[in-house]
Structure 1
Amino acid sequence: MVPTAHKAKGREWAPVRIGEDFTEPFDQEETDGNGAPLAGDNQDAEVRLACVAVTRARHRLDINGLG
């Protein structure tokens, strides 16, 4: 079974391997090409989702997919 982190909420597995599809975090001070700060909402949601994913493991956790 290969569920997404979104579908993993509330469930657990003995081994969990984090995929490489999480976006890499960026510095909160980064700006877009026009000097406007990048929105942190997406990054915050991605961090929360990663927390859900890593807490699903009961015995073994492979976090190589996280940046």
Structure 2
Amino acid sequence: MKRYPVKSCNIKSVGYDEIKKTLEIEFKLLAIHHYFDVTIDEFVLLMKAPNIESHYLDYVYSKYYFDVS
């Protein structure tokens, strides 16, 4: 999955697999979270958010099931 670098204190990059509906967040502490059943609309909102980390905490972290790799 291709990840795109983002400007954030803790998040290094974000990727999305449209077929699997999986959002991938790479943190600067080298952890990678995979969020499942995420819509393309949510990915777009996250990438366009003025503060990506706040949007992540408010709308992704608390809403979607995830796995850590």
Band of TM-score, shorter chain: under 0.3
TM-score (normalizing by structure 1) = 0.25
Structure having the larger proportion of residues in strand = 2
Larger RCO (alpha carbons 8 Å, 6+ apart):
1
TM-score (normalizing by structure 2) = 0.25
Q: Could you say which structure has the larger radius of gyration? A: 1
